[in-house]
Amino acid sequence: MAASGIAVRGPRSLLRQIREAMAGGGPAQAKLDMVVRTIAISMVAEVCSIYLRRASGDLELFATEGLSRDAVHVTRMKPGEGLVGETMRLGRPLNLSDAASHPAFSYRPETGEDPYHAFLAVPLLRGGRTIGVLVVQNRTERVYDEEEVEDLQIIAMVLAEMVSAGELLGLTELKDVEIAPHKPERLKGTRFAEGLAYGVAVLHEQPVAPEQLLSDDALAEEARLKWAIEALQTQIDEMLEGQHGLVGASYEVLETYRMFAHDRGWNRSLQEAVRSGLTAEAAVERVRSEHRARLGQARDPYLRERLHDLEDLNDRLLRHLSGDVHAVRVLPEDAILIARNLGPADLLEYDRTKLKGILLEEGSAASHAGIVARALDIPCVGRLAGLRDRVSEGDPVVVDAETAEAWLRPRSDVVKALKARMEVRAQRKAEFVRIRDTPAVTKDGDKVTLLMNAGLAVDLDILGETGAEGIGLFRTEFQFMVAEEMPRLEAQTALYEKVLEAADGMPVTFRTLDLGGDKLLPYMELEREDNPALGWRAIRMGLDRPALLRMQIRALIKAARGRELRIMFPLVANVDEFRAARAFVDQEVAWALKRGRPEPARLDVGAMIEAPSLLWHLDALLPMTDFVSVGTNDLMQYLFAADRGNPRVSDRYDPLSPAALRALKTIQQACADTGTPVSVCGEMAGRPLEAFALLALGFDRLSMPPAGIGPVKQMVLSCDREAARRNVEALLKTSAGSLRGEIETLARKLYVAI
């Protein structure tokens, strides 16, 4: 059989014919029949059929030219059933010379398709979802050539947009067609920040939808596309040069953007789509759909990550085409932010009075987004597989961070139950406000110091509202992560002065830069590491780049100006590292005194205990320190050799296990024996049950996210510490994998508020 006419002329004339058919009057079914007839004639095909996806998930024959008309709205098949169902399942074209010989072939006698051998089906893709399948068939055995496949894909993309916009079918015909997800769904994920929320979905970096699909002037569209690509390339090049730093993005992500933005294949695909008769925006959507079909089902996480990079790149290109590059999103009331992932500064760009919850497809509780969400007291659930394909802008959404679940388009009974729980939480918060200024003293008279973790300017605004007695951990790296370039001495000094002034005499412990690992800077090029959490990070980076560490220490000393100063070094793994870091402090104090500058009224220097190796160096380390702080997040990760960002293992080991609690007891006892002040500043400190166990082990200084202070103080006020100590010490002798159940039972037996 000769090459089809459309392969010679390109799809532009066919698209024009389809548009003319749609402009005419008449019933919706008649229009759809005209469309399949037009496609069949233009492609020299003896059959052309359109199948659309019903709400049940089944594909239904909606129109055909060449098959039996009696089969229309009768023939149905499930995903994976028959060649049409297989095309929907795969999400990519199926091109066969002999349809009946394919293992997925399913004979449907009512269609009368017996004599047709050649078969080409392409999915109707919209928003990454298959909403239907477009099929052409011929009697002669042949394989449709590459141009024919590409042309039919363009037609399918245009038809998908027309169906979704209601141009092909009216509301009556579309009643049960699944254009977008609409059924209630419940997704299970991982809790990043506690709380409950109900609101409407807002897509972070929402894609710009093309308003016009077909073009009358291909040359003009090609010129627009070329200009937009060049503008995008320039923007990304400038980001990498540090002139317009991308907040929260790593250098490697930007390098990937640049690689794709300059990729000739990507550029060529876009240009060819425009030359076929599409607008520049529609061309971007067509190429996006091709990438989704090719990479969306990949098992390799690297390939899936590349798809996300391409998605972001396409969104940026669409924004250049629309002139919406720097638009600021205006949130509706009760907004629930939906994103693949977020950088540490992304949340700060939204109106926090309207942002009620966050749902993420990726991330981890220790990710930047999780840390910021906890600091802002915004409920957040992450690791929600397939989230972005299951939710649409404006969908009602429930964030249940207590059970680590997301409810999309929830039923009324789910919403009712959630609102009742939200009311209970509101009452508890009112109780926390009532006890805010009450000293945290146990029932048997032991004073417990509750401190706040911070790292953002917004944290300082709520310090007085929390009832915290100071800042037990100030993460200095956040200033570096949200900056467009390396903060200079003056900028660092200004921030540290602001923190000390906000504390108004309360103690503040500044942790020096904890960079590396998952905390990368857009303006600092670092080598890729196979195990970044175990690699060149934290104090290791500071000791190897002494100018960076010394500049920060100098800024801290300058900011103190006669006030008390506490400096803490992260991820110290041996005594030599602490000794070297402390020497830098001594040198900077001497440098300030030599120039007649005021020294701190008191200077305490401490270490974070995160590396298990320190448990066997405490006798040598503690006499050298003024205090230590236990970072339970990393300590537990390294103790169990379990990546806390990996959902397969992060919940496998419990910090309330005998092994973990014995390690903590070892630290507490060594500090008690040497008179070294010790605090706990990991996630354990901010959870009432875990904090109850810490009190029983002898810890009496806990630093936590702001939202944890109220619940933990309520626990402290209800706790008989001596009774807790006796019972928990007895439990430590067991070999159970976890003592969580036993400790919770004990707390309830002692009437402790957990």
Q: Tokens 């972070």 — which residue?
A: 204
Q: Two tokens at 206?
A: 């929402």
Extract the tokens encoding 275. Answer: 């030359």
Q: Are 179 and 132 in contact (CB under 8 A)?
A: no
Nearest to 568 by CA among 457, 675, 471, 458: 471
At residue 158's C-alpha, the angle toward residues 153 and 159, to 5°, is: 95
Both tokens assigned to 506: 């309360």
Q: How far apart are CA 379 and CA 368, in angstroms?
A: 14
Q: Is residue 130 classed exposed, middle or buried when 0-12, 13-18 and 19+ CB atoms within 10 A define those classes?
A: buried
DSSP helix/strand/coil, 177: strand
617 is catalytic: no
**Backbone phi, psi, residue 487, to 5°:** -60, 130
The CA-based dihedral angle spanning residues 588, 594, 597, 599, taken in that order and rounded to the nearest 10 degrees: 50
How far is 545 from 257, CA to CA, in rounded Å?
A: 29
Which one from 48, 671, 681, 719 is the annotated catalytic residue? 681
Judged by DSSP in three states, 261 sits in helix
**Cβ within 8 Å of residue 597, ≥6 positions away:** 557, 558
**Given 204, 291, 320, 368, the catalytic residue:** 368
Q: Which of 49, 35, 18 is nearest to 122 (CA)?
A: 49
Contact 405, 195 (CB under 8 A): no
Q: Tell me how far apart the alpha carbons of residues 709 and 472 are, in angstroms, rounded to a whole number.
A: 12
Alpha-carbon separation of residue 675 from 183, 613, 620, 703 (angstroms): 61, 21, 14, 19
Which among 164, 123, 181 is positioned nearest to 387, based on CA atoms? Answer: 181
CA distances from 720 to 449, 692, 702, 723, 730 (A): 16, 10, 17, 6, 16
Helix boundaries (H) for 437-536? 457-461, 463-466, 477-481, 489-503
Q: Label residue 67 exposed, middle or buried (CB < 10 Å: 0-12, 13-18, 19+).
A: buried
CA separation for the pair 2, 134 (Å, rounded) = 22
Which two structure tokens, joined as six digits, stand for 260? 């794709």
Which amino acid, one-letter code, is at 363? G
**Is 719 an active-site residue?**
no
Distance CA 539, CA 511 (A): 10
For every residue of 225-244, DSSP letters joined together read HHHHHHHHHHHHHHHHTTSS
The long-range contacts involving 439-445, CB below 8 angstroms and separated by at least 24 positions, are 440/712, 440/713, 440/716, 440/717, 441/716, 441/717, 442/695, 442/716, 442/717, 442/719, 442/720, 442/721, 443/717, 443/718, 443/719, 443/720, 443/721, 444/720, 444/721, 444/722
Please state the separation of Cα 515 from the chain's center in Å: 20
The residue type of 112 is G
Distance CA 599, CA 363 (A): 42
What is d(CA 597, CA 593) in angstroms, rounded to the nearest whole number?
5
Catalytic residues: 368, 681
